[in-house]
Amino acid sequence: MADNSAIAWQPTSEVVEGSRLYRFMRAHRCATFEDLFRRSVEETEWFWDAIVKDLGLEWYEPYTKVLDSSQGIAWTKWFLGGRFNLVHNCLDRYVGGEGRDRVACIWEGEEGASRKVTFQELYQDTNRLAHGLRSLGIGKGDVVGIFMPMVPETVVAALACSKIGAIYVPIFSGFAAAAVASRLQDCEAKLLITADGFLRRGKTVPMKETADEAVRMSPSVKHVIVYPRLGMQIPWAGGRDIAWREFVEGARKEFQTERTFAEDPFMIIYTSGTTGRPKGTVHVHCGFPIKAAQDMAHCFDLRKDDTMFWLTDLGWMMGPWEIIGCLLLGGRMLLYDGAIDYPAPDRLWQLVERHRVSVLGISPTAIRALMRTGEEWVRKHDLSSLRILGSTGEPWNPEPWFWYFRNVGGGRCPIINYSGGTEISGGIVGCSPIQPLKPCSFASPIPGMDADVVDGQGRSVRGEVGELVIRKPWPGMTRGFWKDPQKYLDTYWSRFPAVWVHGDWVSVDKDGMWFIHGRSDDTIKVSGKRVGPAEVESALVSHPSVSEAAAIGVPHDLKGEEVVCFVVLQIGSSPSDPLREELKDHVTGRLGKALRPEEVKFIDELPKTRNAKIMRRVLRGRYLRESDLGDLSSMENPAALEAIDRAI
């Protein structure tokens, strides 16, 4: 069994001294990471002013004050008086010199087509679309929905909106019409940008038909711009629908970027939800971009000669994070709009080898699924370009962490574990190339994030599981929920005075390493004993017969809740009653008799989103025979519903 209590990776002096974070520390005379972190949370204004200067950000008008919390910490304003547009810093400033010919974006489609786009080409394409948007009457403060797969034109669409001062709403490309419409309705979008469709596991996924249905439910949308990703026949509404290529053809290659204020909104990104009105987190030009770039520079050490690939979609926070962070730092991003295990299990490793990816980001759940196919698929490929491995989305357990570390990174690449959220603009806790790593852990809070672990009374605790909180503001914090400020306050600021409660269970071990145990709203409580799904799942996956697992809590008359587990077996293992009892005993041996699973169900596949998050609410709802499972359009594998039914 893998050991997660000892240090698994130590940075060499060469790695430390070559890192962006170390250079930042040297510039500000911080001898150790601990010195830097302490100063970053004690001297908030100094730190974020130093970050802006370290990133080399350019301002139309300089700010006169770093922050103002006079309206309360929840409504802190940043970089007062400054005029700042993220697109000037992502594109405009590069095209005047040698940077214009560097590759900004590499794209590969599932069918094998690929393209490279330079900073100059991205700049010109963005300007052409910006002219087109202005011709439709879209201007500063107007809202535009972007419902597209991960192609270069998606980047162009997002940047063009920001360039003219409009606000864009990134929408997951796999959503059904009702989910798209709920977002368009909530933000009263005037325009939707979409594509005809894309490929997924060799099959066409139509987008235009979904967009049409969503727009019929969204009266504020007056026009739909359609990019021909596949070039297929699609329904067309004359007078409303606009063909991308004809729209931008002949438009001028230059456009004067809107000189937005630092606190002007540029994006509303909706948090994932199951029912009810979606929550739109509002982000501003001086917030999300600065936080994303800081994290990418200091956690992932992204440099101008790096190529980053993160398995994501525009509709998830990591999509805009990757685009904005890479461009602000002058690095390259790889976009891929297909399945990472199609047509063969080594598609991801092909991408890394072919495009010389140096920074790779993927979820623990995706690694667990890839593990089932065997190490030989990884070994077929030259992965020597990799120097940083990233992960986010869900807690790790040791076996897949070590598989990723040893087989993909060769034991030489650090796994930068990273956790935060849509409303954070990046990470709360993470790792860096200058810190030693324990499996599954976070080395510390990220500089500038005054994170803590507290008990039910808000008292700081160590050596036990508690709530993750943040005590000081940071630029990337959402400026509230769109049209619902009270919901924002109730969600994050109502538990303890002037303290952000994030909703994660965390702990800090004796060596100061941080561990996330899952969402506090996923917690299972059996006879007064609290356990996170990740702890049960980690115990199950440590058994040699288990590939993947999901744990849920279901009502019980005496115990309050009981644990029910769904297990995907390793290839070569077969379901049986003796194995079921063996797995129950295995969990009991790890977690104690009180948390022995009531049931273990063998299942062919777990329900997941496209970025490989397990949809536990779907498992629970199906197990309890609930009629409303919430929004299922983000599910990657709808066939899993039948697998659940067979299992139960």
Mean pLDDT, contiguous 10-residue spans, the chain (648 residues): 75 97 98 97 98 97 98 98 98 90 97 97 98 97 98 98 98 89 96 97 96 97 98 96 96 97 97 65 98 98 97 94 98 96 97 98 91 94 98 89 97 97 96 97 98 95 94 98 95 96 93 88 73 83 91 85 93 93 92 88 88 83 84 75 87
138 and 175 inside one domain: yes
What CATH number is attached to the domain comprising 221? 3.40.50.980
502 and 532 inside one domain: no
Nearest to 228 by CA among 213, 247, 215, 250: 247
Which one-letter DSSP state was computed for residue 413? S
Q: How many CA atoms lie within 13 A of 589 on its CB side?
A: 10
Answer yes or no: is 180 within a domain. yes
226 and 299 inside one domain: no
386 and 303 inside one domain: yes
CA 80 – CA 83 distance, rounded (Å) = 9
Answer yes or no: is 303 within a domain. yes
Cβ density class 92-116: b for 16+ within 10 Å, e for less: bbbbeeebbeeebbbbbbbeeeeee
Cβ(580)–Cβ(600) below 8 Å: yes
CA 506 – CA 464 distance, rounded (Å) = 8
φ/ψ (deg, to 5) at 123:
-60, -50
Last residue in a domain, options 517, 541, 564: 517
CA angle 405, 409, 411 (to 5 degrees): 65
- Encoded amino acid at 478, one letter: T
- What the block records as the tokens of 268 is 């509303």
Answer yes or no: is 97 within a domain. no
- Structure confidence at residue 193 (pLDDT): 98
Last residue in a domain, options 484, 517, 550: 517
Answer yes or no: is 4 within a domain. no
Answer yes or no: is 8 within a domain. no
Answer yes or no: is 3 within a domain. no
Question: CB within 8 A of 585, min separation 6: which ones?
Answer: none
506 and 374 inside one domain: yes
Last residue in a domain, options 255, 274, 289: 255
Query: In sequence order, what DSSP letters do the residues of 31-71 get, joined into one string?
Result: -SHHHHHHHHHHSHHHHHHHHHHHTT---SB--SEEEE-TT
What CATH number is attached to the domain comprising 353? 3.40.50.12780
54 and 174 inside one domain: no
What CATH number is attached to the domain comprising 580? 3.30.300.30
Cβ(591)–Cβ(535) below 8 Å: yes
Kindly compute the dihedral angle of the four CA atoms of residues 524, 526, 530, 536, in this order, to the nearest 10 degrees: -60
- Structure confidence at residue 614 (pLDDT): 86
307 and 223 inside one domain: no
Answer yes or no: is 103 within a domain. no
58 and 154 inside one domain: no
- Encoded amino acid at 542, one letter: S
- Structure confidence at residue 531 (pLDDT): 77
Answer yes or no: is 111 within a domain. no
Range of the domain at 407: 13-90+266-517
356 and 243 inside one domain: no
- Encoded amino acid at 423, one letter: E
- Structure confidence at residue 277 (pLDDT): 67
378 and 473 inside one domain: yes
CA 433 – CA 18 distance, rounded (Å) = 10
296 and 444 inside one domain: yes
- Structure confidence at residue 613 (pLDDT): 78
Q: Is the dihedral of CA 91, 96, 102, 106 positive or negative?
A: positive
Query: In sequence order, what DSSP letters do the residues of 208-235 get, joined into one string?
Result: HHHHHHHHHT-TT--EEEEE-SS-----
| Total domains in the fold of the chain | 3
Number of residues that make up the chain: 648
122 and 59 inside one domain: no
CA 609 – CA 603 distance, rounded (Å) = 17
- Structure confidence at residue 272 (pLDDT): 61
